[in-house]
Amino acid sequence: PKEGRVGDQDIVDHIRSAVLMQRLTPNTKLPEITLGEVFGVSRSVVRKALTRLDAEHVIDQRPNQVARVRAPSIEETRETFSARRLVEGEIVALLAGKLETSAKKALQQQVVLEKEAYENNDEPARIEHSLNIHHLLAECSPNSIMGAMLTDLVLRTSIVIALYKPPSLLSCYLEGDHAQLLSHLVNGDAEAALKLKQSGDAKLPLWSPCYRFSRHIGLANTSGAPRGAACESTSLPITAVSDECR
């Protein structure tokens, strides 16, 4: 693409999507010059994108170092999932019986689309619709502060799942889980909605004790351009950390 046709938001969207779909692994280097060449933009545009990705916890930026895809520690991973369970659980309890008609319809549509994507083995679409469900819950939250917190935590936990999910776990999907949650919200059953969120971990398989990435994936995979620099391998012990659904 020519200079001016791609903005920093485009780069943010491409890199975030590449991380969520496991095309970029933990500790992958993101050199400004390489990204500029891949996306056809100046380094100033790349810097803006990297700053935003750092704020979203997708990458790590440190002074005088090349930006890298994040590699969260086991302790940070546990704390992130714990925070999301607490915040989202409180939000669904507050939302029970208070969903507006427009929100109900929007959630119903995403639940149906997520199920269809899963049945069609379309994992990118399934992730998109699942994220949409949780973002809608955040937007509908009666407590706007908690809603903002959930929006951030949904992205952070989704990135952790994408970074460290074993290849054998093809999809993070529980049949009927979101449909059941929506039913509880519509029926005003706050206790059942909260219980469903809190019991989600027990229904899902635990990650293996240690999963090592050794794939070599180019930065150009984020945009469909020719292959770029290869990533480095990394590993993280994640014993007893549950693969909570996005």
Q: Is 171's pLDDT higher than 70?
A: no
Percent of the chain at pLDDT above 70? 76
Question: Can you list the alpha helix ranges (DSSP code H) found in the chain?
Answer: 8-20, 32-39, 43-55, 74-95, 101-119, 123-140, 144-164, 177-187, 190-198, 200-203
213 pLDDT more than 50: no
Determine the pLDDT at residue 170: 56
If DSSP codes are grouped into helix, strand and coil, which group holds residue 235?
strand
The token pair at 235 is 């590993």
pLDDT of 119-155, one tens digit each?
A: 998 988 888 899 899 999 999 999 999 999 999 898 8
CA 142 remoteness from chain centre:
23
Give pTM, 2 decimals: 0.72
Tell me the CA distances in angstroms from 220 to 34, 159, 227, 231, one per residue in order: 9, 19, 5, 12
Quote the mean pLDDT of the chain: 80
**Residue with more model confidence, 177 or 199:** 177
